[in-house]
Amino acid sequence: MTSHDASREPTGHLTTRCPACSAQLAYVPGTASMRCGSCGTEVTFTQGAASTGTGQAYDSWATQDAARVGGTSVTMRCEGCGAVTENDSMSTTCQFCASHLVALTGAPGMVAPDAVLPFAVTPAAAREKFRAWINHQFFGVKALKNINAEESLVGTYLPYWSVSATTESYFEGQRGVDHEEERSNGVKETVTHWYPRSGSVSGTYEDTFVPGKEVDLNLAVAIGGLKMKDFVAYRPEYLAGFSTARYDIDPANAVESAKSKIVNQIRGRVNSAIGGDHQKIENIQTAYSDVSFRLVLVPVWMATFVFGGKRWPILISGRTGSVYGKVPVNRFKMFVTTAAMFAVVVGGVLLAMKLFS
């Protein structure tokens, strides 16, 4: 084993050349090491806990950096073949010699990643998850079973923003209290009386995750379980052998979409503050302070297959192996099954009618 410190490399990108045989090193999922694909030599590195702070202050970014429209690409010189390429990924594979390229510095004006959720699912495990998933698609097209989309599974880190903020919200609304009232005819009836309520609620919202990139799939499900405590401090070694997409949703837009998620939680707090049996919210005015953000990287295995002239993206969590995606539906199979179920129901009804007549 060899120890390795990326910061000492003067090349502008991580050295991924095997110290023993000069072949390429790649990050080994679930470890703190890179392994040579040719001779198996392992290069370990120190894994650090994710920073405990909340990241970069949004206000200072907005006044200093928001106007700096940085180049979205970075120049990388391949250490394998010497090719100089403009990349808009943070890590990729050299298109000429397949060397692993990992940029050590971001494009100017771009926010650098703060934390990473390292891959835990190996390529073999991802292929297995994909195969199991496709085999369970009941209404799937039979030809799918022969599609080798798993051969084209690409391990990619996707950018996400983790946004934190403190809020103070002034609200106006109505508290509804139920009363039981007796009508003149003696019938009891529940009636809601409404009383105006106003006040303020404050809250601290840490680590609201929002996507940093537009992708084909709705990734809400994929980020549902993200917890900051699972992340580790960013190191470029985690990216070796994987591609890493740059964000195209900037901090300003990320903070806006985080706020729309936070607003839903504020409404819950306002409802509790209004109290009673029912609540009506007429107005909420929220002031945000201490807004901060950090860029984090989330691992996914992605594949896309083309069927019936359409692209079908599939995503496998690089952390849990859960598969997300849609498959083409075999309409004939669906029709036959639905018709059969309908026949069973109709048959049952007819039988019941006969038995009870």
Q: From start to end of the chain, where are the E strands?
A: 2-3, 25-27, 33-36, 42-44, 56-57, 74-77, 84-87, 89-93, 100-102, 113-116, 154-182, 188-211, 232-233, 243-245, 278-307, 310-317, 323-325
CB of 77 to Zn ion, least distance (A): 9
- Structural contact between residues 244 and 91, judged by C-beta atoms closer than 8 angstroms: yes
For residues 59 and 293, give the distance between their C-alpha atoms in angstroms, rounded to a whole number: 10
CB of 126 to Zn ion, least distance (A): 24
For residues 24 and 349, give the distance between their C-alpha atoms in angstroms, rounded to a whole number: 67
Determine the interface stretch with Zn ion among 16-24, 145-153, 199-207, 308-316 (rule: CB under 5 A).
16-24
The smaller minimum CB distance to Zn ion, of residues 78 and 149, is found at 78
Give the interface size with Zn ion as a residue count (CB under 5 A).
Answer: 16
Residue selected from 28, 36, 50, 163 as contacting Zn ion according to rule CB under 5 A: 36
Determine the interface stretch with Zn ion among 36-44, 66-74, 139-147, 224-232 (rule: CB under 5 A).
36-44
CB of 49 to Zn ion, least distance (A): 30
For residues 20 and 7, give the distance between their C-alpha atoms in angstroms, rounded to a whole number: 21
Q: Which of residues 58-117 bind Zn ion (CB under 5 A)?
A: 78, 80-81, 83, 94, 96-97, 99
The smaller minimum CB distance to Zn ion, of residues 83 and 249, is found at 83
3-state SS assignment for residue 319: coil
Beta bridge partners of 286: 169
Q: Which of residues 174-193 bind Zn ion (CB under 5 A)?
A: none
- Interface with Zn ion includes 23 (CB under 5 A)? yes
The smaller minimum CB distance to Zn ion, of residues 50 and 94, is found at 94
If phi over 0 gives left and psi between -120 and 50 gives alpha, with beta otherwise, what is residue 55?
left
CB of 302 to Zn ion, least distance (A): 23
The radius of gyration computed from the CA coordinates of the chain, to the nearest angstrom, equals 27
Residue selected from 11, 38, 202, 283 as contacting Zn ion according to rule CB under 5 A: 38
Encode 36-68: b = buried (16+ Cβ within 10 Å), e = exposed.
beeeebebbbeeeebeeebbbebeebeeebeee
Beta bridge partners of 165: 205
The smaller minimum CB distance to Zn ion, of residues 2 and 322, is found at 2
The smaller minimum CB distance to Zn ion, of residues 97 and 334, is found at 97
The smaller minimum CB distance to Zn ion, of residues 80 and 106, is found at 80
The smaller minimum CB distance to Zn ion, of residues 69 and 81, is found at 81
If phi over 0 gives left and psi between -120 and 50 gives alpha, with beta otherwise, what is residue 155?
beta
CB of 79 to Zn ion, least distance (A): 8
Residue selected from 12, 20, 60, 265 as contacting Zn ion according to rule CB under 5 A: 20
- Structural contact between residues 116 and 297, judged by C-beta atoms closer than 8 angstroms: yes
For residues 132 and 155, give the distance between their C-alpha atoms in angstroms, rounded to a whole number: 18
The smaller minimum CB distance to Zn ion, of residues 36 and 327, is found at 36
Note the residues at the interface with Zn ion (CB under 5 A). 18, 20-21, 23, 36, 38-39, 41, 78, 80-81, 83, 94, 96-97, 99
